[in-house]
Structure 1
Amino acid sequence: MNVNKKVLFLTDIENGLEPILQEVTNTPAENMLTIQSYGAVISRPYGEIMRSVIIAIYQEDVEEVFVVGTKDKRTSPGNVRTQLETMKDKIQTLDYLFQNCKPEFFGGTVDEWLDGNENSIVAIEKSVEIIRHHPLVPSDVKVRGLIVNPKDGTSSIVDAPAAKTGQASPDHCLS
């Protein structure tokens, strides 16, 4: 293992994860790169978060990527729910469009898209698969999922099932 290897972490907007991630992955702070987003999920293989991951891999010579979820993540803040209620008519219109047109983002309804309340392990597995099988990500870059508990510092690796080689995933196809 290269002690000077750069490691990229895609994390949720959660304070205090860096010391836990350093300890769990045995990565010195100077070799850590972090991309934060709400949910730490890559929903589009050619979206802005994936673009940032790809650029970081090449620009910083990243050897390993971790998609990090947090255990016991709190649900959406109450004021987001209240604000969504005030936009009920707009949301219904958008939901109709998503069901009858080709939406440009992940999720079947506006609530699902904004909420991101998918099972965190499933979301991490999907994100790992998108990164691992993206045509612009070098095959020698290791990509893994990780669930951490910020309260007690425990962690567990999320093993994403490996897809068959030579087959393109439908999520990677452009329509």
Structure 2
Amino acid sequence: MNLDKNKKALFLTDMENGLEPILQEVTNIRAENMLTIQSYGSVILHPYGDIMRSIIIAIYQENVEEIFVVGTKDKRTSTVNVSTQLESTKNKIQTLDYLFQNSKPEFSGGTVDEWLNGKENGSDNIEKSVDIIRHHPLVPSHFKVRGLIINNYDGKFSIVEVPTNKTVSNLT
């Protein structure tokens, strides 16, 4: 995946450290042209939330030309089951679950657990985030958005592009 090294790109990555050099090597984009937003699980839960706001501002303010939503295959999206740690707030969680189910679109997801932990499959999370970015009314329709999964096997990294429903230009 050799891209124009002078192109500015935005990477939405997991909280894992050390991804930038790998992405720089694979995409051939210079470090000074890489912007990174870190999020637990590389997930955009709401099309009008803080992460999406940062992406839109980067597109227009920083002249970003392409966005990569990057996840890692060797670890689960959420390393901790947050809802079990919140057992002391069980009544509040039940109330929030009720609101999640009955007050859409204010709340994203079906339950507090889904909202906190995301989906089990990291590829699904990445595909959903790519879809949210691509279909956002403030993102130009010609804008390139790709989903990538970094696989760390035996200390060697490989990157796999996540297929999405909407077709984009070939990798060149």
TM range (shorter): 0.7 to 0.9
Aligned to 2:156: 152
CA–CA separation in structure 1 for the residues paired with 2:141 and 2:78:
35
Distance 1:143 1:78, change over 3 A: closer
CA RMSD of aligned residues (A): 2.0
| 1:147 aligned counterpart, secondary structure | strand
Deviation string for 1:9-57 (max 9, x for gaps)?
A: 0011111101111111111111100011112111211111111001001
Q: Which amino acid is 2:17 matched to? A: N
Contact 1:10 1:66 in 2 (8 A): yes
84, 89, 92: which one aligns with 2:91: 89
Contact 1:45 1:130 in 2 (8 A): yes
CA–CA separation in structure 1 for the residues paired with 2:120 and 2:47:
18
CA–CA separation in structure 1 for the residues paired with 2:157 and 2:74:
12
Identity %: 72
Deviation string for 1:119-142 (max 9, x for gaps)?
A: 211111111111112221123321
Aligned to 1:172: none
* Number of residue pairs aligned between Structure 1 and Structure 2: 163
Aligned to 2:69: 67
Structure 1 segment 115-154 matched on structure 2, within 5 A: 115-150=117-152, 151-154=155-158
Aligned to 2:48: 46
Structure 1 alignment gaps of length 5 or more: 164-175
Structure 2 alignment gaps of length 5 or more: 168-172
Aligned to 2:170: none
15, 18, 21: which one aligns with 1:16: 18
CA–CA separation in structure 2 for the residues paired with 1:78 and 1:160:
28
TM-score, with normalisation over the residues of structure 1? 0.84
| 1:62 aligned counterpart, secondary structure | coil
Indicate the larger mover: 101-110 or 48-57: 101-110
CA–CA separation in structure 1 for the residues paired with 2:56 and 2:35:
13
Aligned to 1:99: 101
Aligned to 1:168: none
Q: Which amino acid is 1:162 matched to? A: K
| 1:129 aligned counterpart, secondary structure | helix
CA–CA separation in structure 2 for the residues paired with 1:74 and 1:123:
11
